[in-house]
């Protein structure tokens, strides 16, 4: 298969195309309609989410913590393809995510795969955009139910070649997507106004048979090797209060450690990243900046894809400390593996995580202070 290196000048031109939001628009979903009961252990609350009645003390494979509702054990997690283009800010629902993967959707524009073990109490998430291979491959190991608006041929070939893996695409299942008309009328692009919610997804799961909420086959493994919740450590290479890196020519990342919450607070485009559901900046227990070779397949045109099989260098942030690491991925469906600089397997602290997949050409922009 013929490949070519991502050209920064070509990427800049393509970025303008991506901003236009070209694509088929889904029909509006009626988020305010009252659905019947969705699960025997749940009920609809006044806000339109789904109330969780089961005890929440089971092991969460996305975080390594014991905070999962018991009736979600053995169920597939959810992954939402969320727009992270500055013109679409603020995003919604990110503060409730268990794990987020940031990838290059084209032209250096970052996109987020936000993963949740349970979405019943998720009132709003978005804006929802189209799916890329660099978004699918990182989360595939968890057999998630993926929610997006649009795909491409390579994603379709990869996804639908796997018996257990299916997508809710708002172009084909418009019931899951609604347009925020007030947001659109205020000046946002049409494609930067699409949202969904936990209730809309559960409505759809109730009504269709082609996607099953239960995971079939071998039991799922944790996303990472997690330390026990009571066994947290500070990364070995030193303490840091702030870390900056260029995600691309277009987007600059910054994390600042908040000693009060113990979280790494996320900024991008030189401003705090706010969750519009809460009005607050989002933060994470773990941050993983993973550098690797990024190329584009000739038939894909302008869409880059991380070369996961080659792995690369990285940086782990947690508890006010940092550590230089290495990473690999055991094939498209395999797990992420983390190692220290000597090649020893590395376990990270239990908690929420944000992973950024960054072209290795940006490695020299990393600043730790």
Cα radius of gyration rounded to whole Å, the chain: 19
Fold of 238-368: YerB-like fold (3.50.90)
Beta bridge partners of 254: 244, 267
Rounded Cα distance between 17 and 11, Å, is 10
For the chain, give the number of residues. Answer: 369
Strand order in the sheet with 194-196: 125-126, 194-196, 178-179
Strands 353-359 and 286-292: parallel
- In this prediction, residue 301 carries a pLDDT of 59
Give 304-344 as a DSSP string: EEE-GGG-EEEEEEETTEEEEEEEEESSTTS-EEEE-TTS-
For 3-19+36-207, give the CATH class: alpha beta
Q: How many CB atoms lie within 10 A of CB 363?
A: 17
What does the domain layout of the chain look like in residue ranges? 3-19+36-207, 238-368
Rounded Cα distance between 99 and 65, Å, is 12
Give 228-242 as a DSSP string: PTT-----TTEE-SE
- In this prediction, residue 33 carries a pLDDT of 34
Residues of the chain with pLDDT under 70: 1-48, 160-165, 297-302
Quickly tell me which residue has 């490695």 as its tokens.
Answer: 363
Residues 6+ apart with CB under 8 A from 173: 204, 208
- In this prediction, residue 328 carries a pLDDT of 95
- In this prediction, residue 160 carries a pLDDT of 66
Q: How many CB atoms lie within 10 A of CB 143?
A: 18
Closest-CA residue to 303 (of 111, 78, 170, 127): 111
């Amino acid at each position: 298969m013929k490949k070519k290196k991502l050209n920064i000048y070509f990427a800049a031109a393509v970025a303008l195309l991506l901003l236009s939001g070209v694509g088929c628009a889904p029909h509006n979903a009626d988020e305010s309609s009252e659905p019947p009961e969705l699960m025997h252990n749940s009920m609809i609350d006044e806000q339109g989410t789904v109330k969780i009645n089961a005890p929440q003390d089971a092991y969460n494979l996305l975080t390594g913590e014991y905070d999962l509702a018991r009736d979600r054990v053995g169920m597939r997690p959810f992954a939402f393809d969320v727009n992270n283009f500055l013109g679409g800010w603020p995003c919604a629902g990110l503060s409730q995510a268990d794990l987020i993967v940031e990838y290059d959707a084209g032209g250096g524009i970052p996109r987020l795969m936000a993963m949740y073990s349970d979405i019943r109490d998720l009132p709003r998430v978005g804006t929802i955009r189209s799916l890329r291979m660099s978004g699918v491959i990182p989360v595939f190991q968890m057999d998630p139910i993926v929610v997006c608006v649009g795909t491409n041929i390579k994603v379709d070939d990869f996804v639908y070649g796997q018996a257990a893996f299916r997508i809710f695409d708002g172009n084909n299942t418009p019931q899951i997507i609604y347009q925020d008309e007030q947001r659109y009328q205020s000046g946002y692009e049409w494609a930067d106004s699409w949202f969904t919610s936990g209730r809309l997804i559960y409505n759809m799961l109730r009504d269709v048979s082609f996607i099953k909420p239960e995971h079939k086959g071998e039991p799922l493994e944790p996303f990472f090797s997690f330390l026990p919740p009571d066994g947290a450590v500070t990364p070995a290479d030193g303490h840091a209060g702030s870390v900056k890196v260029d995600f691309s020519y277009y987007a600059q990342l910054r994390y600042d450690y908040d000693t009060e919450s113990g979280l790494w607070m996320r900024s991008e485009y030189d401003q705090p990243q706010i969750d519009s559901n809460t009005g607050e900046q989002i933060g994470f227990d773990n941050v993983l900046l993973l550098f690797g070779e990024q190329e584009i397949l000739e038939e894909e045109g302008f869409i880059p894809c991380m070369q996961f099989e080659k792995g690369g260098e990285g940086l782990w942030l947690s508890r006010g400390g940092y550590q230089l690491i290495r990473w690999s991925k055991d094939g498209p469906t395999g797990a992420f593996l983390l190692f220290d600089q000597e090649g020893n397997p590395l376990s990270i602290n239990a908690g929420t995580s944000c992973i950024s997949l960054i072209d290795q050409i940006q490695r020299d922009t990393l600043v730790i202070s």
